[in-house]
Structure 1
């Protein structure tokens, strides 16, 4: 049976800026011990793309087109499924939380605790 590990990654600014995906410690056992190419399947693609894995820094490079295509930035979450043959990337749905209450008037000053 082919072992795989699934996790979610909250992107940080340097990942977006430099176009890589950091690999956490518990997943590294499924990846090569030395710098190597890995197959990455992005959302909407039919065939995996070859990306570079740097085992010294635990990063997979070549994610800039993916980040730009999907408008991702720091704080966004991607789901990653890693196996020895393939890394599958999927997007966590962005949900915008609407504030149902009207915003308070910022010019209101509460003076109820002040003495006269």
Structure 2
């Protein structure tokens, strides 16, 4: 079994605690669904927000999922690259799995589809 990374991103319409919570939860649930992830297989999760988002920690949404309160979570701010996609939340899950890299399904929701159109699913 190896530790693999699963990526995802989403956007919010406003810098509110509710929007950040809802969008983060939707993103994590989609990654779980797409990859059939069991919480016990998750080593850690890194969550980032663009500098224009500061109303809430996205980790709060992840901890709200059953069993996820024990998963190590870290929030950080993305670097402020000019012309980068605004109001973005990104995630990197480190998962113990027997799947190959190409078998993992990354999730890009909302306007974040433009970040990786090659990986975004219909």
Fold conserved (TM > 0.5)? no
Higher helix share: 2
Give the TM-score of the pair, scaled to structure 1.
0.32
Larger radius of gyration: 1
Give the TM-score of the pair, scaled to structure 2.
0.31
Greater RCO, CA 8 A, separation 6+: 2
